[in-house]
């Protein structure tokens, strides 16, 4: 142990590290010893960040050691290998995000800003915390309080499964990937288990038909060796009759078994599809940001069928073929062990071939899947947008694009076709060689010593040998099916095993929401390149009507997305009525919020059911009342089919304003405690806007409301305005207060007033 000042350092073999220091990784020894040697009396190291880039942008060791007094940045390109910044001298400290990397930039009082530490995004959020720490300490902040914020960021970073490294919803949460069953069979066994009785029945029927299938070759032997040479007509007729009965029973049982197998298989795949679809509903938006809907659709439709075929093969065919193989081998050995050994000689070649083939085909199947998912993606992206394609005469371009993706799939599928046809043919060839061996040697033994092996026995043996290669071929090609299914299984497990939206507050139901919303030190980015929200601190009292304004891309929608808990990976806290929203039951929490989007989504269903989507048990009058409040009832009544009108995928048949009012009716029906309007009047004319505004006014009375707005008329209703710019809140107050400031809000209102005057003028002239 070494003491430096009041700090005790414990030697760990990597350097000198204070026992309770926070760190991303073990500090490299040379930095640790250098840092220890530089510590002043009474100075306490608080945390370290180990970087992976040097200041020139090459992969190299670098580190940041932050104490209660200073920041020490270790990099070979600093004079003496270290740059020291005293917190008290810091004028500005921030992280400049770039493309694929970032730098910690510090400006000391009276000096120009300087890059002191460079890193990839692996430690970007921690460096944000370090910069904020230094700035806040320089501004007189309390070390302990500021350190707690840093510690929270570190804790979040540590929320990874120690076994597989997957991000967890919170520290200590169970890792779905590692706690779920490790083998494919066990994971999917739960879909097979409900059909167990039916499958056991099918198996029993199969064993009966298999046993029956073993009989005819033996009967053939008797026919050839005894009945026909003896010209025994009665015996012949009897044997033929027995064979006929056996075949009738065999094929009848086969048909029944086939029917039950189909039912079992369909139930299995239906169960799988239900699970995938249901799971997909609960996945966070960040999953859909990264995974195309075409890919998810492929998994629900195609992959489940592939997996169904494999599961049936494993649970039925494999067992039957195994028993068949054993039965045939036993009979063959009993008939003639020499011929049996001869017929088994091609087997090693078949087995080795299967292994080699498996390794070659797996990557090909993976590629085929990716190509097919790309094709599905094109379909789901472009066909709903056919209106856009037509209006920009893009039909030919669209078709060419689809053709190129389709061709890529074709190329990969052809590679698989080559491989998956060459192999079975090769197997069949080896099997045929085996039969030739039997004919050659067997025939010779019949000619030379007919007392040992008769013609009937040889013919019977050939039949059994041919039957034997059925199971051999089955097991040889099982690998092909397995590889194909493995890819599908992994795709399905991607969805089933994906971390659902974190609901750690499950069960903690929200009873009543008064409507106080607080943002505390909230930082958020979708990717690491650009921060969408920076240091958001905001308090909204119950009943406040808050207008959120800002230019496009300023972070307004992101703010409401976080309140809706569409994204959870933010730093800081969001509280409703003093409770962290992450600690509330997700479903219960969202049920208290009415959310009206800018682009209302209508499902392919009736008007009634679209409104009642928010409250499925609502009765007719509740829905009509909600439509009334939303000023939608009058236009619905004018529709030929009224509330039974079928709406298209995108609410086809309704204008933008009508869709918006239906969307508001949905929110009304929900009777929410909190309301969020995301530019609800963005794309409508002023007459429709007036109707929507009226509807909104009825709805918001007495409820805490957040309205992303750029219309002056909307903002006038708000008693508080939040002005967002580049992810930060730049102004907050009432309309009058902000107008008096003559800042950003004032400018936005001026521009808005001018454009509204022009618009009103155009409408007055009926000029479009």
Partner 1 sequence: MSERTYIEYDNARITRLDGLALRVEMYDGRVFENVEARRLFPITGASRYITLLDEDGVEQAVIRNLKNLEPDSRKAVEETLAQYYLVPKITRVLACTEKYGKLTLKVETDIGEHRFEIKHVNTDIKVLFDGRVFITDSSDNRYEIPGLRKLDKKSLALLSPYL
Instruction: Kindly give the pairing relationship between strand 720-725 and strand 728-733.
Output: antiparallel
> Are the C-beta atoms of 666 and 595 separated by less than 8 Å?
no
Contact 31, 25 (CB under 8 A): no
Q: Taking CB under 8 A as the criterion, which residues in 465-524 touch partner 1?
A: 490, 493-494, 497
Enumerate residues 6+ apart whose C-beta is below 8 A from 4: 36, 37, 39
Q: Is 400 in the site for partner 1 (CB under 8 A)?
A: no
- Count residues binding partner 1 (CB under 8 A): 40
Could you tell me which residues come within 8 angstroms of residue 586 by beta carbon, excluding any fewer than 6 positions away? Answer: 501, 502, 503, 505, 506, 565
Site for partner 1 in 721-740 (CB under 8 A): 726
Which 700-719 positions form the footprint of partner 1 (CB under 8 A)? none
Q: Which stretch binds partner 1 (CB under 8 A): 9-17, 71-79, 241-249, 365-373?
A: 365-373
Q: Which of 57, 194, 385, 450 binds partner 1 (CB under 8 A)?
A: 57
Q: Is 766 in the site for partner 1 (CB under 8 A)?
A: no
Asked whether the beta carbons of 364 and 415 are under 8 A apart, the reply is yes
Number of other residues whose CB lies within 10 A of the CB of residue 339: 23
Binding piece for partner 1, criterion CB under 8 A, among 115-123, 457-465, 707-715, 751-759? 115-123
Q: Which stretch binds partner 1 (CB under 8 A): 206-214, 362-370, 614-622, 635-643?
A: 362-370
State the DSSP string of 607-667.
HHHHHGGG-TT--HHHHHHHHHHTT-HHHHHHSTTGGGPBP-TT-TTS-HHHHHHHHHHHH
Q: How far is the CB of 370 from partner 1 (least distance, A)?
A: 6
C-alpha–C-alpha distance, residues 500 and 650, integer Å: 27
List the one residue from 87, 221, 367, 659 that touches partner 1 (CB under 8 A): 367
Q: Distance between CA 516 and CA 574 in Å, rounded?
A: 11
Of the pair 360, 520, the CB lying nearest partner 1 is at 360
Stretch that binds partner 1, among 66-74, 92-100, 612-620, 644-652 (CB under 8 A): 92-100
**From 319-327, 348-356, 363-371, 541-549, span contacting partner 1 (CB under 8 A):** 363-371
- Segment interacting with partner 1, rule: CB under 8 A, options 290-298, 325-333, 433-441, 574-582: 290-298
Smaller CB distance to partner 1: residue 444 or 530?
530
Site string for partner 1, 143-182 (x = CB under 8 A): ---------------------xxx----------xx----
Residues 632, 636: Cα–Cα separation, whole Å:
6
Of 2, 8, 88, 98, the residue at the interface with partner 1 (CB under 8 A) is 98
Residue 291 as a binder of partner 1 (CB under 8 A): the answer is yes
Which residues share a beta bridge with 574?
519
Q: Does 362 bind partner 1 (CB under 8 A)?
A: yes
Residue 311 beta carbon to partner 1: minimum distance, rounded to whole angstroms: 21
Query: Which of 680, 724, 686, 682 minimizes the C-alpha distance to 700?
Result: 680
Q: Applying CB under 8 A, which part among 192-200, 237-245, 361-369, 713-721 lies near partner 1?
A: 361-369
Query: What value, to the nearest 5°, has the Cα angle with vertex 388 and ends 386 and 391?
Result: 110
Cβ-contact 569, 286 below 8 angstroms: yes
Map the footprint of partner 1 across residues 293-352, applying CB under 8 A: 295
Binding of partner 1 by 101 (CB under 8 A): yes
Q: Please state whether beta strands 70-74 and 82-86 pair in parallel, antiparallel, or not at all (unpaired).
A: antiparallel
Which residues are near partner 1 by CB under 8 A? 52-53, 57-60, 98-101, 112-113, 115, 120-122, 124, 164-166, 177-178, 290-292, 295, 362-363, 366-367, 370, 373, 490, 493-494, 497, 527-529, 726
């Amino acid at each position: 142990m070494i003491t430096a000042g009041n700090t005790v350092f414990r030697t760990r073999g990597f350097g000198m590290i204070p026992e309770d220091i926070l760190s991303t990784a073990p500090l490299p020894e040379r930095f640790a010893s250098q840092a220890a040697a530089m510590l002043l009396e009474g100075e306490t190291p608080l945390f370290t960040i180990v970087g992976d880039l040097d200041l020139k942008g090459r992969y190299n060791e670098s580190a940041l050691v932050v104490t209660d007094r200073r920041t020490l940045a270790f990099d070979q390109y600093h004079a003496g290998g270290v740059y020291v910044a005293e917190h008290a001298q810091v004028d500005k400290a921030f992280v400049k995000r770039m493309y694929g990397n970032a730098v910690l930039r510090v400006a000391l009082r009276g000096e120009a800003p300087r890059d002191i530490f460079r890193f990839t995004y692996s430690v970007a959020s921690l460096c944000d915390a370090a910069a904020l720490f230094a700035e806040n300490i320089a501004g007189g902040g309390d070390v302990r309080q500021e350190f707690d914020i840093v510690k929270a960021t570190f804790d979040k970073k540590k929320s990874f499964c120690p076994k597989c490294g997957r991000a967890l919803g919170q520290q200590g949460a169970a890792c779905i990937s590692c706690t779920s069953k490790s083998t494919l069979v066990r994971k999917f066994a739960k879909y097979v288990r409900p059909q167990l009785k039916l499958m056991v029945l099918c198996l029993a029927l199969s064993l009966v038909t298999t046993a029956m299938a073993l009989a005819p070759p033996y009967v053939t032997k008797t026919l050839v060796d005894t009945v026909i040479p003896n010209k025994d007509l009665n015996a012949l007729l009897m044997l033929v009759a027995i064979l006929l009965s056996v075949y009738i029973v065999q094929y009848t049982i086969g048909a029944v078994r086939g029917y039950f197998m189909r039912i079992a298989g369909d139930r299995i795949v239906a169960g799988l599809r239900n699970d995938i679809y249901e799971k997909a509903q609960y996945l966070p938006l960040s999953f859909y940001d990264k995974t195309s809907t075409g890919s998810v659709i492929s998994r629900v439709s195609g992959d489940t069928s592939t997996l169904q075929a494999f599961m049936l093969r494993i649970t039925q065919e494999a067992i039957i073929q195994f028993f068949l193989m054993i039965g045939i081998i036993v009979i063959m050995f009993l008939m003639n062990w020499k011929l049996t050994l001869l017929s088994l000689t091609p087997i090693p070649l078949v087995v080795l071939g299967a292994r080699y083939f498996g390794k070659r085909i797996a990557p090909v199947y993976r590629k085929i899947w990716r190509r097919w998912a790309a094709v599905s993606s094109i379909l789901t992206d472009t066909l709903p947008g056919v209106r856009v394609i037509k209006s920009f005469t893009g039909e030919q371009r669209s078709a060419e694009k689809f053709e190129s993706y389709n061709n890529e799939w074709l190329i990969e599928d052809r590679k698989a076709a080559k491989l998956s046809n060459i192999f079975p043919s090769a197997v069949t060839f080896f099997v045929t060689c085996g039969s030739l061996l039997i004919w050659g040697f067997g025939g010779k033994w019949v000619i030379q010593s007919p007392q040992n092996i008769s013609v009937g026995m040889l013919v019977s043996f050939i039949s059994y040998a041919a039957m034997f290669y059925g199971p051999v071929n089955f097991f040889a090609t099982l690998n092909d099916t397995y590889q194909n299914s493995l890819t599908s299984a992994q795709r399905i497990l991607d969805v089933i095993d994906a971390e659902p939206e974190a609901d750690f507050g499950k069960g903690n139901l929200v009873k009543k929401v008064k409507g106080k919303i607080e943002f505390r030190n909230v930082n958020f980015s979708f990717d690491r390149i650009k921060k969408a929200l920076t240091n958001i601190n905001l308090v909204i009292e119950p009943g406040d009507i808050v207008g959120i304004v800002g230019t496009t891309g300023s972070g307004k929608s992101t703010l409401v997305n976080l309140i809706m808990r569409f994204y959870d990976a933010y730093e800081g806290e969001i509280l409703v009525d003093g409770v962290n929203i992450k600690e509330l039951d997700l479903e219960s929490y969202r049920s208290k919020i009415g959310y009206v989007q800018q682009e209302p989504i209508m499902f392919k269903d009736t008007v009634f059911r679209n409104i009642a989507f928010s409250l499925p048990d609502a009765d007719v009058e509740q829905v009509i009342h909600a439509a009334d409040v939303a000023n939608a009832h009058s236009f619905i009544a004018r529709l030929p089919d009224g509330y039974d009108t079928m709406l298209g995928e995108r609410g086809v048949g309704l204008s933008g304003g009508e869709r918006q009012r239906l969307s508001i009716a949905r929110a009304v029906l929900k009777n929410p405690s909190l309301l969020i309007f995301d530019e609800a009047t963005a794309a409508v004319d002023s007459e429709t806007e007036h109707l929507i505004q009226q509807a909104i006014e009825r709805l918001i009375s007495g409820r805490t409301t957040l309205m992303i707005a750029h219309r002056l008329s909307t903002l006038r209703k708000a008693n508080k305005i939040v002005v967002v710019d580049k992810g930060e809140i730049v102004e907050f107050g009432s309309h009058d207060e902000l107008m008096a400031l003559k800042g950003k809000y004032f400018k936005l209102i001026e521009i808005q007033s001018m454009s509204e005057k022009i618009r009103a003028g155009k409408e007055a002239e009926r000029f479009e």
